[in-house]
Amino acid sequence: MSPLRLTYLGLALWGAVHPLAHLLGWVRANGFDLSGMVAAWQANAASTALMWDLTISAIALTVWILAETTVRRNWGALAALPATFLIGVSCGLPLYLFLRTRPVT
């Protein structure tokens, strides 16, 4: 595996573990309260801006993944979509790049 692919894989793992560790801490403190989580995302202008930044980035990444997957027929790369929406862009983007750069056989 190339150093570039290893970097993408490492970033995808980091992008999964680091944010989920913080999310699990919040869930332990507050319980799984979806309305409370949405309220926390909109607690102030900075967190609201970040929420919209990540939402728009996730949508753009989804459009890119769907467009490229259709052309390249790399159906395995669709695994980056649930990673993006269940974990975050910090995992979905590097995971997609990892899956996209695999050698074509």
Identify the pLDDT of residue 33. 87
Buried-exposed string 16-48: b where 16+ CB fall within 10 A, e elsewhere: beeebeeeeeeeeeeeeeeeeeeeeeeeeeeee
Q: pTM (2 decimals)?
A: 0.88
* Closest listed residue to residue 9, CA positions, set 105, 72, 97: 97
Residue type, 99: L
Query: Has residue 64 got a pLDDT over 70?
Result: yes
Q: What is the mean pLDDT of residues 77-98?
A: 96
Residue 105 lies in a domain: no
Query: Has residue 11 got a pLDDT over 90?
Result: yes
Number of structural domains found in the chain: 1
pLDDT tens for each residue of 15-57: 999 999 999 998 999 988 889 888 988 999 999 999 999 999 9
Residue 37 lies in a domain: yes
> What domain range includes position 71?
3-100
Is 74 in a helix, a strand, or coil?
coil
